[in-house]
Amino acid sequence: MKRIIFFVIALVSLGGVGSIAAQEPATQSASPERAAVTDEATGLVTIESAYSVEETMNNLEAAIDEQGLIVVARIDHAANAEGADLELRPTQLLVFGNPELGTQLMQAEQAVGIDLPQKFLAWEAEDGTVYLGWNDPSLLAERHGLEDQDEVLDQVSMALETLAEGATAP
């Protein structure tokens, strides 16, 4: 019970990411052939990975640790499905954050905590291609009516894209 309470407290109190700098084209990554794209309807940003789901998430977790961010949880959805006698292609979720930025957003609108900490999802498509996805931080601004938080949201956006590019590039 104490673990569950601690985990819930951690999820609520963490948020955002540090200030390190799929379908309709949006933000281009540094390499044009590996452009991140944003689905405008869902706000999901995706980039193709050169690695397996496991390797992509290992790369990502190492980069997050190097930046001094907090990894809250890593969830293997495929393993959980297997435990329920169901099949699912490799799919993993990484939950992480930095209270310095996330707290600023929650101070502006506390309900934004439902969308924090930040998350990355890596999955293997039917054709074997691996993708890494995350929520576009502008979605937070729209969903929660955040005003005067452009600087923080820009920091979050840059950090997410930098982490994603580093974890997925060959």
Q: Which long-range contacts (CB under 8 A, 24 or more apart) does 5-8 make?
A: 7/72, 7/73
User: Torsion-angle region of residue 14: left (phi > 0), alpha (psi -120 to 50) or beta?
Assistant: beta
CATH number for the domain whose boundaries are 2-168: 3.30.310.70
| Cα-Cα-Cα-Cα dihedral sign, residues 149, 158, 124, 31 | positive
Of 53, 120, 119, the closest CA to residue 89 belongs to 53
Write out pLDDT tens, residues 103-120.
999 999 999 999 999 999
**pTM score over 0.75:** yes
Write out pLDDT tens, residues 26-74.
344 445 567 899 998 899 999 999 999 999 999 999 999 999 999 999 9
Backbone angles phi, psi at 39, to 5 degrees: -85, 110
Domain boundaries, the chain: 2-168
